[in-house]
Amino acid sequence: MNEPNEIIKTKKPIKYLSVCSGMEAASVAWHHFGWEPVGFSEIEPFPCEILKQRFPNTPNYGDLTKYSEWPIQPGTVDVLVGGTPCQSYSVAGKRGGLNDPRGNLALVFLGLADRIKPKWIIWENVPGVLSSNGGRDFGSFLGALGQLGYGFAYRVLDAQFFGVPQRRRRVFVVASLGDWRSCAEVLSLAEGMRGNLASGGKKRKGVAADAGASVEKPSILWSAGGQANAERLIDKAGTLLCHKSQQGGYITPIIIDLGDTRTTHAVVEPQVYENRPNMAVRRLTPIECERLQGFPDNWSRISWKGNPPEECPDGPRYKACGNSMAVPVMRWIGERIQKFTHDHE
């Protein structure tokens, strides 16, 4: 993972509450800044166990719909962050939007915000939220933020421009109590800056570029997204596992994009069988999926159902990785809030 080059200190550590926590991309992204989690909210058994083992001193309050029972007082949380379930907004689903119970968790999220009154709110979802119900669902969410006294800004950010080797577009809403200009400043992207979608085709620095600098670029054999998507993936195998060849060099795997950014990516890599080179197709390993999201290796490999970490099954690890936010994107947003807070203290 990339470490921040320079950490700007604030007078007091920023305290945050993370809901729909999953395997906690926010905490992995923000612990370098000294931010302090006051609690999590997760109900899925496997991610709950990740939280318990990785953050034993932070309470998991569980069911988001029971937020009124949580012992959190107004004014004690600086940042509320969460990505409520996206299935009701995804273009791949039935698109029930706010009529779907999962979509309604977005309104529960707002109810929590109204109760604890954080200075900042960060909400993440799939791009399909912009067109769900003709855009009315997203408009209702933003309108409710305004009624609660929050100014806001939003934009679509793609993880591939923040140093991880995958194309993962997500909508990020940043809201600030009483002021929209601070949100616009947090989400602003200068021309040529890493993360700027318009300059994404330019050579950029970061994890993916640095990790692949010493190996030959792979080729894309097939991509569900067509040739344009294949070209985007050409330079993105650097953070995947590389294998040492008999000649002493390192062979980079070749990515096959199966059209699903969650768990169905595969790679094609050179292998030697009976002294003849062959191409073998395999699924990404859990470690590679963690790297695609910017997590440390084996972050999701935990003791599970009485078994040691080395016996942790792959299935729940794939699901946890696929449902997570991308760590580098969360780190970038955190850096911007940290800097804004420092500059205006």
Sign, CA dihedral 130-151-37-6, equals positive
- Annotated catalytic residues are 86
* 88 token code pair: 């009701």
Those residues whose C-beta lies under 8 Å from the C-beta of residue 20, and which sit 6 or more positions away, are: 41, 42, 64, 82, 83, 84, 85, 105
Q: In DSSP terms, which residues pair with 175 in a beta bridge?
A: 121, 152
CA–CA distance, 344 with 120 (Å, rounded to integer): 14
Q: Are 229 and 158 in contact (CB under 8 A)?
A: no
Alpha helices in 234-326 (DSSP H): 286-293, 314-323
Helix or strand run (H / E) with residue 151 = strand 150-158
CB contact at 8 A, 21 and 320 = no
CB neighbours of residue 2 within 10 Å: 18
